């Protein structure tokens, strides 16, 4: 059966990315996921739903690996679909540290590679691949409120997400014939939040606030946020607001 939607999701083996991938596993959708590990849950769901699933295993913190995946996407993206989606979800909050203690160049570089470089490379490949197609093409970059509001201890994370927001605005200004937005998804109960709660207060002074949010049940579930995001992407107004926040929507 010919696919009506071709969707690419990065960081799809856990957390919000996995929830987004599961939500996209519907009949008529061809899903391509990019993650470090193979996800058997996605395999089982794809078989049950009759959805075509391709899992690409790679480390998006490696520019060379991203270049290979980008070429693969460019050369193998199926044609003939009505809609093409790219969801750049993969990201890291590490390294968490005060600015005076950010000495690990490798960790900083890896964060920028994952949060920014991989997005730029995959987006370039996606744009080249969909340009000849007469289709509805949409790109969603998963951003963060940290890119819009400074957070002590998150110098690298805030910087990468601010860069992601600005890059998204540049894409919009260039007008490639695609709809695009950078979306803050709110505070979600994922492995990233566990890492944040495990931070030392000397590195991340707001750690107690995040711990209290978890204790008080104030974190959103990945499945709920993913469902809201997929409705958001599907809406006719998608892309009208370039820098957006899912908490602006019911």
Walk me through the domains of the chain, giving residue ranges and CATH numbers.
5-238 (3.40.50.720)
Q: How many CA atoms lie within 13 A of 240 on its CB side?
A: 6
Q: What is the 3-state secondary structure (H, E, C) of 101-164?
A: HCCCHHHHHHHHHHHHHHHHHHHHHHHHHHCCCCCEEEEEEECCHHHCCCCCCEHHHHHHHHHH
Tokens of 68: 């290979």
pLDDT-wise least confident of 33-42, 67-76, 84-93, 215-224: 215-224
Tokens of 203: 């590195």
User: pLDDT tens across 5-19, in order?
Assistant: 999 999 998 899 999
Sign of the CA dihedral with 221 first, then 224, 227, and 232 last? negative
Q: What is the mean pLDDT of residues 26-45?
A: 93
Of 158, 168, 242, the C-alpha closest to 206 is 158
Look at the chain and count its residues.
250
CB 109 within 8 A of CB 143: no
- The residues, ordered by sequence, that sit 6+ positions from 196 with a Cβ below 8 Å of its Cβ are 93, 96, 204, 207, 210
Q: Which residues are catalytic?
A: 157
167 pLDDT more than 90? yes
User: pLDDT tens across 172-211, in order?
Assistant: 999 899 999 999 999 887 777 787 888 888 888 778 887 7
Omega before 95 within 30 of 0, i.e. cis: yes
Instruction: State the greatest distance between any 2 C-alpha atoms of the chain, in Å, as a whole number.
Output: 56
Phi/psi for 138 (5° steps) reads -135, 140
d(CA 88, CA 223): 17
């Amino acid at each position: 059966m010919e696919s009506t939607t071709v969707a690419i999701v990065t960081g799809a083996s856990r957390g919000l990315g996995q929830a987004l991938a599961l939500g996209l596993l519907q009949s008529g959708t061809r899903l391509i996921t990019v993650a470090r590990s193979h996800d058997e849950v996605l395999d089982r769901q794809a078989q049950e739903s009759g959805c075509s699933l391709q899992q690409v295993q790679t480390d998006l913190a490696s520019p060379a690996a991203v270049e290979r995946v980008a070429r693969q996407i460019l050369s193998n993206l199926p044609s003939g679909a009505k809609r093409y989606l790219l969801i750049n979800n993969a990201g890291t909050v590490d390294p968490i540290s005060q600015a005076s203690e950010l000495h690990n160049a490798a960790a900083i570089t890896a964060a920028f590679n994952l949060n920014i470089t991989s997005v730029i490379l995959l987006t370039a490949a996606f744009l080249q691949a969909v340009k000849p197609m007469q289709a509805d093409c949409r790109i969603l970059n998963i951003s963060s409120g940290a890119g819009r509001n400074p957070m002590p201890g998150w110098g690298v994370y805030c910087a990468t997400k601010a860069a992601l927001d600005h890059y998204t605005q540049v894409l919009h200004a260039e007008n490639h014939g695609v709809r695009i937005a950078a979306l803050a998804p709110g505070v979600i109960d994922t492995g990233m939040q566990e890492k944040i709660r495990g931070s030392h207060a000397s590195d991340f002074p707001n750690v107690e606030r995040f711990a209290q949010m978890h204790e008080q049940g104030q974190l959103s579930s990945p499945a709920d946020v993913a469902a809201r995001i997929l409705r958001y992407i599907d809406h006719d107004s998608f892309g009208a607001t370039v820098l957006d926040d899912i908490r602006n929507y019911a």
